[in-house]
Structure 1
Amino acid sequence: MRKTALALARAAHAGPALAVTVLSCLLGVAADLSPSQVAMVTSAVLAGQLSVGWSNDLRDRARDAAVGRSDKPLANGEVGVSTVRAACALAVAATVALSLLCGVLAGAVHLLCVASAWTYNLWLKGTLASWLPYAVSFGGLPVFVELVVGSLPPVEVVVGGALLGVAAHLLNVVPDLAQDAATGIRGLPHRLGARTSVVVAVGLLVTVTGLLLATDTVSGRLDGPVVVVVGATVAVLAVLALVGSGRVPFLAAIGIAFTDVMTLVAR
């Protein structure tokens, strides 16, 4: 049972799923949701992320097996297809129920975000539009959270979330470019190549930083010293991402993304 549970967690892309779930929780706290509302939002997002991860590995299991992906539980036989399908179906049902408990309009937005992510798994992963579901889903996440209390996030937060999503897509795919190419996947990162994908991701992330810092400075939400520290940190990481070698560019870009997320939720 424990081995099956661990295999299911890996098949659900536990790392990215946890990251998005924690982000939704932080957004809920920043939006002054009540503890029960934060719990509902977090649970809905977790269920949605599980469904996205499991559907992704179900869809890709033949390709993963073809290139010998030992890290993929479905491809290496650690967990059965029927088990993952059942778990995915339960996650979908939970996503619908938990989303609607957050409110009909808010729930509909979250279900749109999850459906967008599914379109990546089912159709858009190998196309030039592979970035689009990430933009829609990440841009829609703060809208979902804010609608729980009947408000809407500032435009820069939605735009920043969308740009963060596209950057996350580029950075997430870079480590798998070779395996994907071997099985005919030709999404945007594959056409750009590893180096260009990182450069474009850094550009998007720096744009998010500039957008958030500019609006926060004008509104007075952030003090001058904080703006300077955040800006300087991102500038250093951006230089490392552009001139570094090996894993340094990738890790530096992840550092910028983390800084942007913290700036986003601390507003």
Structure 2
Amino acid sequence: MLDRSLPVLLLRAAHPRQALLTAVGVAVAAALSGRPGREVLLVLGTVLVGQAIVGWHHDIVDRARDARHEIPGKPVGEALIDPGTVWFAIACAVLLVVPLSVAAGVPAGTSYLLIVLIGLFGNVTLRKGWLSWLPWAASFALYPAYLSYGGWSGSGSDTPPEVAITVVAVLLGVGVHVLRSLPGLVVDNQDGYRSLPLRIAMKTGATRLLVAGCAYVVLVLFALLVVAQQVGLAQQS
């Protein structure tokens, strides 16, 4: 069956919706900042591959937990795909994401590779406690640097991002973390996790947190547009 084929299983294990939304969001930001079309496509491809790596790693780390709770849509946890196969896909993707990242310049490439490393780090630590927001905030803080330093054929800019843009990006990362955590709060509570979203939900209820989280993200996105229009992405020399 097609839905049990290796390419489809790898796609499902890569958290494709999150990967695509993140890649499109960063690519749109690159386009709005005035980057030419080929650089926008480079950003799109780089972020898509990096997010797939983080998604695959997440499902490997959580495979026993996903199996125990019988969480649907988790090919590794359902034993539909061997973890070794996913590790091989990660290795291949790393060999691809490194040159893609550096193609935008060393400072930009370093910034994005740090984003991927932070995502991998967040998969294995901090997520169980109240500092669960920290990897998300740190990774989103580096997206403006990735875009600001980015260029073509390794000829990236040496201009750092505006501080205001970075601060708003951090706030956006925290909001995205809250929304991404909502579907798994019941399982997290059963496993004894006490992440920031879970702590808030236990006081407000999941429905109120969903509404508040959506409103928060919308407001932060609006603030991001305003700040970008007022000060731009990169610092003026």
Q: If the TM-score is normalised by the length of the shorter chain, which range does it land in? A: 0.7 to 0.9
CA distance, structure 1, for counterparts of residue 48 and residue 231 of structure 2: 33
Counterpart of 2:176? 168
TM-score after normalising by structure 1? 0.74
Counterpart of 1:112? 114
Distance 1:165 1:33, change over 3 A: same
Counterpart code for 1:180: D
Output aligned runs, 1:90-129, within 5 Å. 90-129=92-131
Distance 1:86 1:33, change over 3 A: same
Counterpart of 2:217? 205
Counterpart of 2:193? 185
Counterpart of 2:8? 6
CA distance, structure 1, for counterparts of residue 216 and residue 161 of structure 2: 20
Counterpart of 1:54? 56
Q: Which has the higher helix share?
A: 1
Partners of 2:112 and 2:142 within 8 A in 1: yes
Q: Which has the larger displacement, 151-160 or 77-86?
A: 151-160
Distance 1:74 1:133, change over 3 A: same
Deviation at 1:103, TM superposition (A): 0.6
RMSD after superposition? 2.5
TM-score after normalising by structure 2? 0.83
Distance 1:220 1:189, change over 3 A: closer
Partners of 2:169 and 2:224 within 8 A in 1: no
Counterpart of 1:67? 69
Partner SS state of residue 197, structure 2: helix
CA distance, structure 2, for counterparts of residue 72 and residue 65 of structure 1: 8
Partners of 2:14 and 2:55 within 8 A in 1: yes
CA distance, structure 2, for counterparts of residue 41 and residue 7 of structure 1: 25
CA distance, structure 1, for counterparts of residue 25 and residue 47 of structure 2: 10
Counterpart code for 2:187: Q
Distance 1:57 1:195, change over 3 A: same
Partner SS state of residue 47, structure 1: helix
Counterpart code for 1:160: V
Distance 1:112 1:213, change over 3 A: closer
Output one character per residue of 1:64-87: Cα deviation in whole Å (capped at 9) or x when no partner: 001111221111122111111111
Distance 1:207 1:159, change over 3 A: farther
Count residues with an aligned counterpart.
Answer: 221
Counterpart code for 1:159: V
Counterpart of 1:41? 43
4+ aligned runs moved over 6 Å, structure 1? none
CA distance, structure 2, for counterparts of residue 196 and residue 177 of structure 1: 14
CA distance, structure 1, for counterparts of residue 227 and residue 102 of structure 2: 32
Partner SS state of residue 185, structure 1: coil
Counterpart of 1:233? none
Distance 1:209 1:29, change over 3 A: closer
Deviation at 1:184, TM superposition (A): 3.1
Distance 1:142 1:123, change over 3 A: same
Identity %, equivalent residues? 35
Output one character per residue of 1:134-154: Cα deviation in whole Å (capped at 9) or x when no partner: 111122112201211413443
Partner SS state of residue 118, structure 1: helix
